[in-house]
Copies of this chain bind each other. A is one copy, B any other.
């Protein structure tokens, strides 16, 4: 038997017979790590040198100056950019190309805050977006949901509420997210009301509002005014909208009108190019990142033209495709590298960044799911992303929200709290006394140092099985997806809604009812 195994066995034997003080309580309790948002204790991982970064920035500038961005169906946005110095070419009645001199967009962005607070209805749960703050939020936008019992089906408002409750119940997420899944049982023109209401009613964390139409953006903000008061909303960021560019190099009118609505109200907005390399951006990652920077900067800049100082978040969703089948691929190595570069570019711009998440193309919460998720999620953590949407639940190339994957991802988010905290180097943590107390060859279970640190030294997972094989086998030999299945049911079972002022609740319901009564159902 090898030295390695002998050591493991010896340690296990010692551990069981040891006189140390084992941690008690249910697994997954790590109160010392619970925070409303994470403050980085580890540095960012800088992939490229300054020269390469400048070349990417110059390419972004060149894209904006020589190719330009196409705007559609929103003459007000065109007016704003023209006044700011953009060179407008009318392509037809509702389409314009605008080119920007190198540096112009960066100048417009100078008023954008480097860091801001998004207020939660529970002030203890407000989050910071930017700088060394890191915020985890659930996945966003899947039409389907899946679990191990019922398989894959279209999402409903019940699923939506379930995921809001699961997120609220996890200490390792900080934000309630937005369209966690599409509630396809509610008309498209009305479901935003139910989604915003569910975030407010079943969570006390910050959340994202609707962006699918300008009036739905306005409704989202109006519901926040009912919740927080109009004055507070005018002076503070309480909601954000997550906007996609129409890559390559297009901003459509629904998007720009929505961006203007959030910015005019002083609310936050996220500006996301969803770049599937080879389809809507260059196949090579340097080119995808340059385009991403050009698109996201331009989209962010619109906020500053509407209301200087409005919170805006640079964003990147980089993905690849299978060049055999044409299917999108997620959790692959190249976008992970691209995310690291985006982190550097965001810091050079001094703007907050949304980037990556727990991406996967797997259809099950299996080995592939977590391998791909980790490839993507570790890049988010290392690149310095501030707002990490898609932190929990992502499967099936974003088409499905998985109940089990949600629990696996949330547990991983907990582990990342320990990781992002970093290594503390002090006389105490250097532990010389622990070794000196016992000397060579003696175990440290009962050392004063061990007793002092055993409750906080290590992340304790709620889901991972760390038992000996025999114990695991006796208990049924269950895989982690099956454990996650039991865990989400238990979490929903024990969920308790945070208190909400009944007067506010009534006002929100009245607002919804009035809005819903004012229009016929529409399914597009």
**Number of copies of this protein chain within its complex:** 2
A397 at the interface (CB under 8 A from B): yes
* Inter-subunit contact A440/B398 (CB<8 Å): no
A519 at the interface (CB under 8 A from B): no
A458 in contact with B248 given A469-B400, A480-B362 (CB within 8 Å): no
Interface residues of A, count at CB 8 A: 167
Q: Which residue of B lies closest to A55 (CB)?
A: B425
Q: Which residue of B lies closest to A418 (CB)?
A: B333
Specify which of B2, B141, B481 is in contact with A367 (CB 8 Å cutoff): B481
A439 in contact with B67 given A255-B3, A431-B284, A481-B366 (CB within 8 Å): yes
* Inter-subunit contact A431/B467 (CB<8 Å): no
Q: Which residues of B contact A325 (CB under 8 A)?
A: 15, 22, 466-467
A248 in contact with B441 given A4-B141, A321-B458, A323-B22 (CB within 8 Å): yes
* Inter-subunit contact B23/A423 (CB<8 Å): no
A-B contacts, 16 of them at CB < 8 A, read A4-B244, A23-B323, A43-B46, A62-B432, A144-B469, A277-B458, A280-B443, A282-B430, A282-B431, A284-B429, A289-B423, A320-B457, A324-B460, A327-B467, A333-B415, A361-B465
Q: How far is the CA of A56 from the CA of B332 in the complex (A)?
A: 36
Besides A321-B458, A370-B371, 13 more A-B contacts (Cβ < 8 Å) are A3-B141, A7-B246, A8-B328, A43-B46, A47-B423, A66-B436, A67-B435, A97-B440, A286-B424, A287-B432, A332-B418, A364-B477, A368-B408
* Inter-subunit contact B250/A450 (CB<8 Å): no
List which A236-276 residues lie within 8 A (CB) of chain B. Answer: 243-244, 246-250, 255, 272, 274, 276
Q: How far is the CA of A11 from the CA of B463 in the complex (A)?
A: 36
CB A270 to nearest CB in B, in angstroms, measures: 11
Q: Which residue of B lies closest to A409 (CB)?
A: B371
Q: How far is the CA of A361 from the CA of B466 in the complex (A)?
A: 6
Cβ contacts A397-429/B at 8 Å (1 or 0 each): 111100001001000100110110011111011
A459 at the interface (CB under 8 A from B): yes
Specify which of B4, B378, B438 is in contact with A140 (CB 8 Å cutoff): B4
A444 at the interface (CB under 8 A from B): yes
List which A462-478 residues lie within 8 A (CB) of chain B. Answer: 463-469, 472-473, 477
Which of A100-108, A109-117, A336-344, A496-504 is the interface stretch?
A336-344
A231 at the interface (CB under 8 A from B): no
Q: Which residues of B contact A97 (CB under 8 A)?
A: 440
Q: How far is the CA of A138 from the CA of B457 in the complex (A)?
A: 30
A82 at the interface (CB under 8 A from B): no
* Inter-subunit contact B333/A4 (CB<8 Å): no
**Highest count of chain B CB atoms <10 Å: which of A70, A322, A450:** A322
List which A124-155 residues lie within 8 A (CB) of chain B. Answer: 140-144, 152
Q: Which residue of B lies closest to A13 (CB)?
A: B326
* Inter-subunit contact A243/B3 (CB<8 Å): yes
CB A414 to nearest CB in B, in angstroms, measures: 9
Cβ contacts A30-52/B at 8 Å (1 or 0 each): 00000000000011011110001
Cβ contacts A10-28/B at 8 Å (1 or 0 each): 0110111010101111010
* Inter-subunit contact B11/A328 (CB<8 Å): yes
Q: How far is the CA of A42 from the CA of B398 in the complex (A)?
A: 29
Q: Which residues of B contact A426 (CB under 8 A)?
A: 286
CB A245 to nearest CB in B, in angstroms, measures: 9
A495 at the interface (CB under 8 A from B): no
A121 at the interface (CB under 8 A from B): no
A419 in contact with B455 given A249-B440, A481-B367 (CB within 8 Å): no
* Inter-subunit contact A287/B430 (CB<8 Å): yes
A511 at the interface (CB under 8 A from B): no
Q: How far is the CA of A479 from the CA of B435 in the complex (A)?
A: 46
Cβ contacts A62-84/B at 8 Å (1 or 0 each): 11001111100000000000000
A279 at the interface (CB under 8 A from B): yes
Q: How far is the CA of A304 from the CA of B345 in the complex (A)?
A: 46
CB A43 to nearest CB in B, in angstroms, measures: 7
CB A55 to nearest CB in B, in angstroms, measures: 5
A59 at the interface (CB under 8 A from B): yes
A211 at the interface (CB under 8 A from B): yes
The 8 lowest CB-CB distance pairs between A and B, nearest first, are A287-B431, A282-B431, A15-B326, A374-B374, A3-B244, A2-B141, A249-B440, A368-B480
Q: Which residues of B contact A333 (CB under 8 A)?
A: 415-416, 418-419, 459
CB A51 to nearest CB in B, in angstroms, measures: 8
Q: How far is the CA of A62 from the CA of B466 in the complex (A)?
A: 34
Q: Which residues of B contact A291 (CB under 8 A)?
A: 431, 435
A179 at the interface (CB under 8 A from B): yes
Q: Which residues of B contact A397 (CB under 8 A)?
A: 8, 466, 468
List which A337-379 residues lie within 8 A (CB) of chain B. Answer: 337-338, 341, 361-375, 378
